[in-house]
Amino acid sequence: MIIKEISNRRSVREYKPDDVTDELIIEIIKAGQFAPSAKNNQAVEFVVVRKQETKEKIFEIVGQEYVKQAPVLIIPVIDETKSILPVQDLSVASENMFLQAAALGLGTVWKNLRPEWEKGVKKLLAVPEQFRAVNIIPVGYPKNKIEPHTNADFNDKKIHREKW
């Protein structure tokens, strides 16, 4: 039941220092690559950062302790010359990655990149100019127990029948 993984995906902001194997990172990225994209452009690529030195530099740009704490950071980027909906494409790929990570017992969070941060992070990682980034995805084992979504988080008043 996929609703289990969907319910287990919670934003994680504290990570254990335990490393995450490359095999698991590849499973997460594969999930991202299997996401839909506008006119099937398949133009999302991924930068995987493990070096502490680089994570410290990213922290200097975007803040947030977990950027230094998580063993791995994944930055999905998309070639804007190939996608007409870059933000949407990066977002749906990110959600697949969040869910795959949760299914593997790993935590993630959408660390948003403001435009000025995006510029700095792209420069640091030598990402070509034509690529867009909207977030940084830390990946690691959650420090605290995950409380899954329950039916209490479901609100049927947000469903409108036929019209508003």
Name the burial class of residue 147, with classes exposed (0-12), middle (13-18) and buried (19+) by CB atoms within 10 angstroms of its CB: exposed
Contact between 88 and a second copy by CB under 8 A: the answer reads: yes
The minimum distance between CB 41 and a second copy, in angstroms, equals 12
C-alpha span between 155 and 106 (Å, rounded): 27
Q: 101: closest CA among 48, 25, 35?
A: 25
Q: 51: closest CA among 33, 67, 40?
A: 67
The pair of structure tokens assigned to 46 is 């991924």
Q: Which is nearer to a second copy, 11 or 81 (CB)?
A: 11
Binder of a second copy out of 14, 45, 142, 146 (CB under 8 A): 45
Q: 80: closest CA among 29, 33, 36, 128?
A: 128
The minimum distance between CB 156 and a second copy, in angstroms, equals 7
Q: Which is nearer to a second copy, 80 or 95 (CB)?
A: 95
Residues engaged in binding a second copy (CB under 8 A): 1-3, 5-7, 9, 11, 26-27, 29-31, 33-36, 38, 40, 42, 44-51, 54, 85, 87-88, 91-92, 94-96, 98-100, 102-103, 109-110, 112, 124-128, 134, 149, 151, 153-156, 158-164
